[in-house]
Amino acid sequence: MNHTIVIRGLAVAGALSAALLAGGCQDAAKVAPALYTVTYTNATHGQPLAPAAVVLHTPGYTPWQIGAAASDGLELLAEGGDPSGFVNEAAADTAVADAASGAGLTLPGNARTVTVGAPRRPDMRISVAAMLGATNDGFAGLKDALVGDMAAGESRTFPLSVYDAGTEANTETAATVPALMGTGYDAARDDLRDQVTLHAGVVTADDGLATSGLGEGHRWLGPGAMVTVQRDR
């Protein structure tokens, strides 16, 4: 697991509140950072799920926006399955408390866990993104899910919609799909519009798109992954 702990405004605020509370003779354990165990599960029939980026943040951070162009980091994540650029962008954002990524592919039915931590704030949110590997630029995404109000020991499960990053045409050819050993990331943006939307799904060769390298087993309907967030402390 790759971890990028951010020492910025939030961490300083956490340290300050810790100092204030300590001065008030509070139990030191009460101001230790909140820790969250984030488990993501591939909910599809036949899509390999690339490593997920997991970001803990306050409302000022926007991982993506419907109708707006994807960041370069999101493009890299959605086209090539590489979350590093997206995680780095998050880490550079002052509203982000922690950003990490899972390791390796997660096959259908399998799950992977990432741990993130942050100063205790009731408005803390979580965002998660992971490429569906057998697409051009599709990713399962969870945006702005509130977790700061959870009690220690509590867990919550969220479905992840499948988004289209809007950065690559959905040709489905083997040469453009990383799970088929095609080129993943390509800096050119050649989708219908350079903007994030929900994904329309894949057509596949089995449904009449002769040039598609995908088969019917790569299709999905609805959520592409599930995320369970448990607050450990």
Partner 1 sequence: MQHHRIATLGLAAALLATAPAAAASLDVTVTNLSHNIYFTPLLVAAHPATSDLFSVGMAASADLQIMAECGDIAALSTTLAGAAADLVANPAAGLLAPGASTTAMLTTASANTRLSVVAMGLPTNDGFVGLDSATIPSAPGTYTFDLNLYDAGTEANDELFSTGCSAGLPGIPADPTMLGGTGGTGVAGADATATVHVHRGTLGDTNATGGASDLDSTVHRWQNPVARVELTVN
Residues that bind partner 1 (CB under 8 A): 66-68, 146, 162, 164, 166, 170-172, 192-193, 195-201, 203, 207-210, 221-222
- Spell out the long-range contacts of 3-7 with Cβ–Cβ below 8 A and sequence spacing 24 or more: 3/98, 3/100, 4/87, 4/88, 4/90, 4/91, 4/98, 4/99, 4/100, 5/98, 5/117, 6/91, 6/96, 6/97, 6/98, 6/99
CB 16, min distance to partner 1, A: 26
CB 198, min distance to partner 1, A: 4
Q: Which is nearer to partner 1, 51 or 166 (CB)?
A: 166
Q: Which is nearer to partner 1, 59 or 104 (CB)?
A: 59
CB 115, min distance to partner 1, A: 25
Which tokens in the block code for residue 26? 């509070």
CB 149, min distance to partner 1, A: 11
Q: Which is nearer to partner 1, 24 or 208 (CB)?
A: 208
Question: Shortest CA distance to 74 belongs to which of 62, 64, 59, 60?
Answer: 64
Determine the residue type at 210: A
Q: Which is nearer to partner 1, 4 or 171 (CB)?
A: 171
CB 212, min distance to partner 1, A: 9
Q: Which is nearer to partner 1, 13 or 209 (CB)?
A: 209
Question: Shortest CA distance to 228 belongs to which of 10, 43, 15?
Answer: 43
Distance (Å, whole) CA 10 – CA 70: 25
